[in-house]
């Protein structure tokens, strides 16, 4: 049985990549072909139009596509999550220096960022912040960071930047900061163009992140794929496998990066600034493993609430009923 699965180059695509390349799919008699996509919008459209059999995709975007809020409408199922956390907010070094936060604690950073964002908005020069897609936990985490400091999301200019383009966009001054998943925050720090200001796990712990989504009509083909996914997730969740996993993800056909940069996120040891700062230990920064595969209505309710808070969607009861068809934990448990 053949599956063509799309993904965007990120560390939390690990379980899907390991499933295909670690022999787990083959043991179930499956041939999984991986397709790296340049952006979430491209991946969303290919999934909705039947050009992919499934995808590693933003949980809010999967729901937005399923509800007809983003791109071509699609009837999807999402039987499994692919990880927890993994995002961070990175700001340009000039912006960080202009903020002058009183400390590195989240409330102090939020107040300094919000104060500068408010001043820039009042002067008609709003900060430009990158998010990977409007329907993403990254957008919701940026909103939470600004709100913690007393600023609104509409006081900044929010633009969508594909994850692999975030660092270059920051380097070129096209954006003042971004929220993105691993390893791109570490890449910005290593390149000397950014400073990690806040971790997603601190802004919205264990929020729904990526899921495995497939067209609903493929439901009957899913069981062997999910067995392979569970086995791959168990392997990815073992700390002793992290160096091998980092090397697998670092291959040119996937992320094309130094494995050590990927390992920082996997190990939860993050260099926040380019020059001389001690790494921050954040063991929950990105969590992989079989225990994170559950995706249920609790996650859907969280996403719907964040959509409403951002003004993206006012969910009527009928929409919630439609949304309830997206998560399929019963398929994972079978």
Assigned superfamily of 87-206: Periplasmic binding protein-like II (3.40.190.10)
Asked whether this chain's domains 2-85+208-269+285-333 and 87-206 adopt the same fold, the reply is yes
The pLDDT tens digits for 144-185 are 999 999 999 999 999 999 999 999 999 999 999 999 999 999
From the list 139, 138, 144, the residue with the least C-alpha distance to 106 is 144
pLDDT of residue 334: 78
pLDDT of residue 192: 97
pTM of the model: 0.97
pLDDT of residue 312: 94
From the list 203, 194, 328, the residue with the least C-alpha distance to 261 is 194
Fold of 2-85+208-269+285-333: D-Maltodextrin-Binding Protein; domain 2 (3.40.190)
pLDDT of residue 318: 83
Tell me the two tokens of residue 27: 């043991």
Tell me the two tokens of residue 203: 């802004």
pLDDT of residue 130: 98
Class of residue 216 by CB neighbours under 10 A (exposed 0-12, middle 13-18, buried 19+): middle
pLDDT of residue 316: 79
The pLDDT tens digits for 4-45 are 999 999 999 999 999 999 999 999 999 999 999 999 999 999
The domains of the chain are located at 2-85+208-269+285-333, 87-206
**Contacts with 310 (C-beta within 8 Å, 6 or more apart), sequence order:** 139, 140, 143, 153
Per-residue pLDDT of the chain (334 residues; tens, 9 = 90+): 999 999 999 999 999 999 999 999 999 999 999 999 999 999 999 999 999 999 999 999 999 999 999 999 999 999 999 999 999 999 999 999 999 999 999 999 999 999 999 999 999 999 999 999 999 999 999 999 999 999 999 999 999 999 999 999 999 999 999 999 999 999 999 999 999 999 999 999 999 999 999 999 999 999 999 999 999 999 999 999 999 999 999 999 999 999 999 999 999 999 999 987 789 999 999 999 999 999 999 999 999 999 999 999 887 788 889 999 999 999 998 7
pLDDT of residue 145: 98
Tell me the H-state helices in the chain: 14-21, 24-27, 40-48, 59-66, 93-99, 106-122, 137-148, 166-171, 184-190, 200-203, 222-236, 242-250, 259-267, 297-309, 317-323, 329-333
Query: d(Cα 189, Cα 261) in Å, to the nearest integer?
Result: 10
């Amino acid at each position: 049985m053949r599956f063509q699965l799309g993904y965007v180059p990120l560390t939390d695509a690990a379980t899907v990549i390991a499933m295909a390349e670690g022999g787990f799919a083959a043991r179930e008699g499956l041939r999984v072909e991986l397709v790296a996509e340049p952006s979430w919008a491209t991946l969303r459209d290919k999934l909705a139009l039947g050009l992919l059999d499934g995808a590693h995709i933003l949980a809010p975007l999967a729901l937005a596509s399923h509800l007809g809020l983003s791109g071509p409408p699609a009837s999807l199922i999402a039987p499994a999550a692919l990880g927890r956390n993994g995002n961070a907010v990175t700001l340009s070094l000039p912006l960080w220096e202009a903020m002058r936060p009183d400390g590195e604690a989240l409330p102090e950073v939020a107040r300094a960022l919000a104060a500068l964002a408010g001043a820039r908005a009042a002067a008609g020069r709003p900060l430009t912040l990158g998010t990977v897609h409007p329907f993403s936990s990254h957008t919701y985490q940026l909103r939470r960071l600004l709100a913690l400091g007393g600023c609104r999301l509409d006081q900044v200019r929010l633009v969508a930047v594909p994850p692999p383009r975030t660092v270059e966009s920051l380097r070129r001054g096209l954006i003042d900061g971004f929220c993105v998943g691993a390893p791109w925050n570490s890449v910005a720090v290593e390149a000397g163009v950014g400073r990690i200001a806040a971790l997603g796990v601190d802004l919205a712990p264990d929020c729904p992140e990526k899921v495995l989504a497939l067209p609903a009509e493929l439901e009957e083909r899913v069981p062997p794929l999910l067995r392979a996914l569970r086995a791959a997730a168990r392997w990815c969740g073992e700390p002793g496998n992290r160096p091998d996993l980092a090397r697998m993800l670092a291959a040119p056909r996937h992320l094309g990066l130094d494995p050590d940069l990927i390992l920082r996120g996997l190990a939860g040891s993050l260099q926040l600034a380019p020059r001389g700062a001690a790494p921050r230990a954040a063991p929950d920064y990105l969590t992989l493993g079989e225990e994170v595969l559950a995706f249920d209505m609790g996650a859907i309710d969280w996403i719907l609430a964040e959509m409403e808070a951002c003004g993206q969607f006012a969910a009527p009861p009928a929409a919630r009923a439609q949304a309830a068809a997206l998560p399929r934990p019963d398929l994972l448990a079978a």
